[in-house]
Structure formats: C-alpha cells, structure tokens
Structure 1
Amino acid sequence: MNSHGGDERRVVWAVTDTGIGPLLLAATGEGLVSVVFHAREAVRDRALERLADRLGAEPVEAPGSPLLAEAIRQVGEYFSGTRRAFALPLDWSLISGFNRQVLRELAEGVPYGTVVGYGDLARRVGQPGAAQAVGMAMGANPLPVVVPCHRVVESDGGIGGFGGGLETKRRLLAWEGVLPEPLF
C-alpha cells in the first residue's frame, strides 16, 4: 500500500478556444470530468475552486496531458465540423443518481444533429412525468458539449434553458444543423 500520498486524485485542466468562446476542460485519471463555458479568467478561477472543493485536489494546468490534449483535439474537430461524436473517457463522479442516468442516456442515445424533448428523455430512463427533473439534470451537467445537453428542447418547440446561456445553445444547435444560423 502506498503511503506517500501518490494515490491522491490528480486533476488537470486547460482552456481551449472554440466557436462559442473559451471552454475549460478538466480531467482526472478516470476521464474528462468538467467542461465550463465562457472560461475567461474570473469564470475559470471560480470553476477551478469548485473542482478543488468537490474533488479534493488542486487542479493543475496541463494542456499537454494525454487526455486533455485528446479532448482539445476532439473539441476542435467538433467545432471545425469534422467530428460528430466524442470518443473520450468520462469521469461521472461529479454527478450521481437520476441525473447521471439521464446524462448517460443523453450521451449515448441522442446523436449529433438531433434533439429530444425533456419528457421524451424522462420516458427513455423509465421515469415518465419527470420532465422537470430532466431539466434539472441538464442544468447540473458537468460535461456540456461532450454530453450534449444543448440537444434537449421543449416539446412545444421551445428551445428550453441552458447553463451556458440561450445564445450559446442556439449557436450549438445551429452548428449541428438543427436550427437555422442566426442572421446577426
């Protein structure tokens, strides 16, 4: 048994520029653990503090770590239009229970260029009538873009809410061809 503290959880992070602004990507040895929108200095610093609190390890900037380098490459491909599905290991430790179940279904069952209603997603995980809880799960998604909560919309055709802001959600849906490009 190692008593030198070498088994502490390591958290690495990097910021990458995208078609929707800077994204903070953070990973553990398990996989990508967090994606944060609008990751300019103040937002980035708050996100890193929250990660340190929740994961019990001080995040270290390491864009060259193999997992982050691969995540940055795949995010770049997504925003250049050459990638439609992410193939990254994911660390689900920041989310549990119903929220994790819903987000895993979303990640596996709602492909690029498609949308699903909150109620439909609730039915898919065996909880018809839990549309509002699905909305809460989307708001708690620690891995937006990679786990595509932007693809969940209201059944009446409304866009629904979005943690990254409605303009970001519109841009992601337009990027995937679900919505027309904004005129300005």
Structure 2
Amino acid sequence: APLKKHYCSIWYLWCHASHVKTHPLLSSMVMMLTMMKMGGVAAAAATSTTCATLTSPVGPIVVVTQAEGVSLINFAHRVDPDNHSQGDGSAKGAELLRETQQQLNEYFSGTRRDFTVPVAFPSDATPFQRQVWGALQDIPFGVTHSYKDIAVAIGNPKAVRAVGMANNRNPVSIIVPCHRVIGKDGSLVGYGGGLDKKTELLRLEDVDVLDGKVLR
C-alpha cells in the first residue's frame, strides 16, 4: 500500500506539471492520498524522543524521554541500540532527560526516595497493565509487596499470574519500582535485569536480602 501511494503521488505531480487533464474525482483521491502520506510523516516526527546512557552502581542504564514524560528506563544490555538515537529529541524532552538523570543520580547516592518526573507509558499498553504499573508507583521506598498484594490492590485478587506478566513488561524500571515486588514467601522470584540487579536495588533501599530472599 505505501508503494502505491508513492506512485500515485508521483503520477499526480507529473500530470499537473505536464498540464494533463484528469478526472476531478480521481485527482481529488490521489491528492488526498498524498496528503495522508505527508501527514503520516509529520505525525511520526512530532513524537521524537531523547535518549542517553547513565552510569550507575547497578550498571549502565538507558533513559529515554519524550515531551510527555519518561518512556523507558532499562539496563543497557536489554535495550536494542538501533531503536533509540542518542541526543535526538525536543527541547522539552531534553530538559526532562536532564532532570531524570539528576533524580536517578540522587536516588543512587541515597539522597532521594521519591521521583517527581512524569512517566509516559506506551500508547499500546492495556488498561490492566496501566493499573498494575500505577500500583507499583504506590509502593514506598524500602518496602516490598507480593504479586498477590498488587492483585488485591487493583481489585483483581485472582490475577496474580497476570500481574507478574505486567510487572515483567514494565518499561520504566526503578521509577516505576517493579524491583519491589517479590514472591509471597519473600523470594525474589524474577527480574528482567537479573536477580543480582534486583538484589542490589533492594539493598540500596536498606532491604535485607539473603540467599535470594527478603528477610522480614
């Protein structure tokens, strides 16, 4: 379909440049396709992102921001570098990136417990995922909740497994603290960045972890 639009656009411009008469309805349809194609390019450019890699005690972290908020925080080894370009973005996104980096540095240095930068979840996130991620943001610094606790908090106590899947798909680590979610028996269970990273983050928040379990 995009290839057909391309040919139609060229045909339309050639006809007008050559003063070739075409049926008015056909000309209108081709012009509309051309405008739609141009509009699609403009829409894609309007949501540019800003990306940087931050050095941290738990390894390199990739941070991506948009004008609307932080859209990605993840460990560098889990991010495809081809999906994000360094230093590309709006002025507002660049300002937010600097603020996010500062708040993360304060968190890692032990001088910050709460984040105030806005978060921009992906547009294709499901309502359930947004519920879970919102509940994660309510977990205080240095506190752990079980997957069951999160399921109860969102009013769906039987959705423990689904909560785990949504937790695993959290795009904004640390600020949306999925590392604070553990098994009912205190076991760390899993973490996208690796259990070693989860352990380090919890210990950074003065949570006692021994042999893969949180001591209560």
Q: What range is the shorter-chain TM-score in?
A: 0.7 to 0.9
Output the amino acid matched with 1:5.
A
Structure 2: stretches of 5+ with no match in the other structure = 1-37, 212-216
Task: Give CA deviations for 1:14-37 in whole Å, capped at 9, x if unaligned.
Answer: 000011001000011110000111
Structure 2 CA distance for aligned equivalents of residues 121 and 170 of structure 1: 20
Q: Name the structure 1 match of 2:126.
A: 96
Deviation larger for 96-105 or 9-18: 96-105
Equivalent residue, structure 1, for 2:87: 62
Q: CA deviation at 1:158?
A: 0.9
Q: Which runs of 5+ in 1 are unaligned?
A: 50-58
C-alpha separation between the residues in 1 aligned to 2:201 and 2:98? 22
What is the aligned counterpart of 1:5 among 35, 42, 45? 42
**Shift of residue 47, structure 1, vs aligned partner:** 5.1
Q: Which residue of 1 aligns with 2:100?
A: 71
Choose which of 17, 24, 33 in structure 1 pairs with 2:55: 17
Which residue type is aligned with residue 49 of structure 2?
V
Pick aligned residue for 2:155 from 120, 126, 146: 126
Q: CA deviation at 1:62?
A: 2.2
Name the SS for the 2:103 alignment partner: helix
Out of 144, 147, 151, the position equivalent to 2:176 is 147
User: CA-to-partner distance for each residue in 1:74-93, whole Å, 9 max, x for gaps?
Assistant: 00000000000111011012
Aligned partner of 1:157 in structure 2 is: 186
Percent same amino acid at aligned positions? Answer: 35
Q: Which residue identity is paired with 1:29?
A: A
- Three-state SS of the structure 1 residue aligned to 2:52 is strand
Give the root-mean-square deviation of aligned CA atoms.
2.3
Partner of 2:9: none
What is the CA–CA distance in structure 1 between the aligned matches of 2:155 and 2:110, rounded to whole Å?
33
**Shift, 1:69, TM fit:** 0.4
**TM-score normalised by the chain length of structure 2:** 0.71
Residue equivalent to 1:106: 136
Deviations 1:87-116 (A, max 9, x none): 101101253321111111111x20100000
Task: Decide which structure has the larger Cα Rg and report it.
Answer: 2
Larger RCO, structures 1/2 (Cα 8 Å, 6+ apart): 1
- Which whole-Å CA distance do the structure 2 matches of 1:132 and 1:179 have between them? 25
Deviations 1:136-166 (A, max 9, x none): 0111000011100000011111112100100
Instruction: Tell me the number of residue pairs that the alignment of Structure 1 and Structure 2 aligns.
Output: 167
Contact kept? 1:174, 1:181, Cα under 8 Å = no
| Greater fraction of residues in helix | 2
Equivalent residue of 1:5, what SS? Answer: helix
Say which SS state the counterpart of residue 184 (structure 2) adopts: coil
Residue 117 (structure 1) aligns with: 146
Change (3 A) 1:138 1:84: same
SS at 2:106's partner residue?
A: helix
